[in-house]
Homo-oligomer: A and B are copies of this chain.
Amino acid sequence: MHQLCLPMGLDDDDVNRLDQIIGRRRRIARDESLYRMGDPFQNLYAVRFGHFKTSQNNPSGEQQITGFQMAGELLGMDAISADRHHCDAVALEDSEVCEIPFPRLEELFGHIPTLLHHFHRMMSQEITREQNVMLLLGNMRAEQRFAVFLVNLSARYAARGYSASSFQLRMSREDIGNYLGLTIESVSRLLSRFKKQNLLSVDKREVTLLDPAQLKALAAGTKHCAPM
């Protein structure tokens, strides 16, 4: 936990101070929400284990999943600006977070500049992550979007010490489609196509990347794979 999240380059003393303000752990069962759009903002949340999705919901019924979060990632930064959560956060499986009371964290920033700087990096990283998604949604065809999605998951699991080539999709096809701006049918067809080209194999939600190089090329937009 500590390795991935807020404390980097802090001395023991500072880590202690941080630990002291960190609130209780909270377990969220699959399909339960950690917070909903409009909820008053009190805490940031660090994912301890499990997976979440965050989604933006429009009054007229449109929904857009804006991200999938896994262990070590921070949830709730969108809520600072209006003191209310701006999206829904829902657990994709039984998960656990730890609460970080934001007012107390901000107090601590005054005493630990390193911590403050690291926090700014995390917010900034969220901004750049979203910019990458905007590029994906605005400029890429379905095939490339899906490849980017897979390569990104692969890299994130690798960074956590898991296999880069074999992992479980924690989200439904519908969630994937929504995130990528595609229909569930399109996602299904893409999976079949990639399977047929031996880029990957799928068993239910278990994916194995058989040709990571080719997938990366698809993601980078330097290659295309046959229409069918």
Which residues of A are at the interface with B, using a C-beta cutoff of 8 A? 56, 58-64, 66, 77-82, 86-87, 106-107, 109-110, 113, 116-117, 120-128, 130-135, 137-140, 178-181, 220-222
Contacts and interface: CB of A to CB of B under 8 A. Distances in A.
Nearest to A80: B124
Contacts of A80: 120-121, 123-124
Contacts of A109: 109-110, 116
Contacts of A181: 137-139
Contacts of A61: 221
13 contacts: A56-B135, A60-B222, A64-B131, A64-B135, A77-B124, A78-B131, A106-B113, A106-B117, A106-B120, A109-B116, A127-B130, A130-B131, A134-B134
B60 A134 contact: no
A220 B56 CA distance: 14
B138 A178 contact: yes
Nearest to A223: B60
B127 A64 contact: no
A181 B123 CA distance: 25
A127 B56 contact: no
